[in-house]
């Protein structure tokens, strides 16, 4: 067990003391049981930081999906405040977290249903962040990295988790007060790949043009046709 972490008002922690326990799955189980919003289920090990926030939105699922980019912004702000200034943190639309251009972790999202027009009972956003590389030979996986391999060895995982909660709550408050536009403006400056071809997509020639009002991915193919991939397609069961 780690020392008791300090979370901001309206948030409280639930630590999993066994490495094999998945905070994302435990959080979903607790949400189904009716646990209150604000629970942070987490598991900190030598190798990884894994944590999940439980939300109870009051808007449709299509609008509530903004929790995913908000959590991404919150993480970038948290690590940006703790890491050396030369460390760059960027976000993939699909939830991936990049540090200095290489994938270091990901955000996941789930809700009790996938109807975009219906208000969800709960929505969970989880973070999985590699602290140490899985292999000493990182040259074999140049597109993957770990936090402590990128000049962040002084960043304590517990402190980072506490900071992520604070910054995420701050952005939730800003969204509720100022609307989605302020979130869009912040996220666009952190997003990776805007204006570039999405070689991992089915249509590898499609260019990522940005996002719509609900953070749906806008893709333009070679003949100029624009398509939209809703953020709800990222929902896990």
The answer to which of 58-72, 163-177, 185-199 has the lowest mean pLDDT is 185-199
For 66-116, the pLDDT digits (tens) are 999 999 999 999 999 999 999 999 999 999 999 999 999 999 999 999 999
Q: What is the mean pLDDT of residues 134-152?
A: 83
Return the CATH number at 61.
3.30.930.10
pLDDT at 216 over 60: yes
Res 204: pLDDT: 66
- How far is 1 from 112, CA to CA, in rounded Å? 30
Instruction: Assess if residue 202 is contained within a domain.
Output: no
Torsion sign, CA atoms 20, 150, 152, 198: negative
Res 134: pLDDT: 78
pLDDT at 138 over 80: no
For 124-135, the pLDDT digits (tens) are 999 999 999 876
Instruction: Assess if residue 219 is contained within a domain.
Output: no
Instruction: Assess if residue 205 is contained within a domain.
Output: no
- How far is 93 from 105, CA to CA, in rounded Å? 13
Q: Which residues contact 33 (CB under 8 A, 6 or more apart)?
A: none
Instruction: Assess if residue 7 is contained within a domain.
Output: no
Does the global pTM surpass 0.85?
A: yes
Instruction: Assess if residue 113 is contained within a domain.
Output: yes
Instruction: Assess if residue 74 is contained within a domain.
Output: yes
Res 148: pLDDT: 97
Q: Which of 151, 121, 143, 148 is nearest to 59 (CA)?
A: 121
Q: In angstroms, what CA-CA distances link 139 with 10, 136, 142, 188?
A: 43, 9, 5, 30
Instruction: Assess if residue 223 is contained within a domain.
Output: no
What is the domain extent for residue 139?
12-192
Res 223: pLDDT: 87
Instruction: Assess if residue 235 is contained within a domain.
Output: no
Q: How many domains does the chain have?
A: 1
Q: Are 168 and 74 in contact (CB under 8 A)?
A: yes
Res 22: pLDDT: 96
């Amino acid at each position: 067990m780690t020392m008791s972490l300090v979370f901001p008002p309206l948030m409280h922690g639930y630590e999993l003391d066994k490495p094999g326990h998945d905070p994302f799955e435990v959080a979903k189980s607790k949400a189904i049981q009716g646990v209150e919003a604000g629970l942070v289920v987490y598991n900190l090990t030598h190798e990884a930081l894994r944590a999940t926030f439980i939300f109870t939105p009051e808007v449709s699922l299509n609008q509530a999906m903004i929790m995913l980019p908000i959590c991404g912004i919150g993480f970038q702000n948290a690590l940006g405040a703790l890491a050396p200034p030369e460390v760059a943190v960027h976000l993939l639309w699909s939830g991936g977290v990049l540090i200095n251009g290489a994938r270091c972790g990901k955000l996941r999202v789930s809700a009790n249903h996938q109807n975009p027009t219906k208000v969800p009972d709960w929505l969970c956003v989880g973070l999985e962040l590699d602290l140490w590389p899985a292999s000493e030979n990182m040259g074999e996986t140049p597109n993957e990295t770990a936090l402590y391999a990128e000049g962040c060895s002084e960043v304590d995982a517990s402190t980072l988790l506490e900071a992520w909660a604070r910054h995420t709550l701050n952005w939730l408050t800003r969204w509720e007060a100022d609307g989605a536009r302020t979130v869009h403006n912040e996220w666009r400056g952190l997003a990776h790949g805007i204006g570039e071809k999405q070689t991992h997509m089915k249509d590898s020639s499609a260019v990522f043009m940005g996002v719509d009002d609900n953070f749906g991915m806008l893709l333009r193919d070679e003949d100029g046709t624009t398509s939209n991939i809703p953020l709800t397609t990222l929902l896990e069961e």
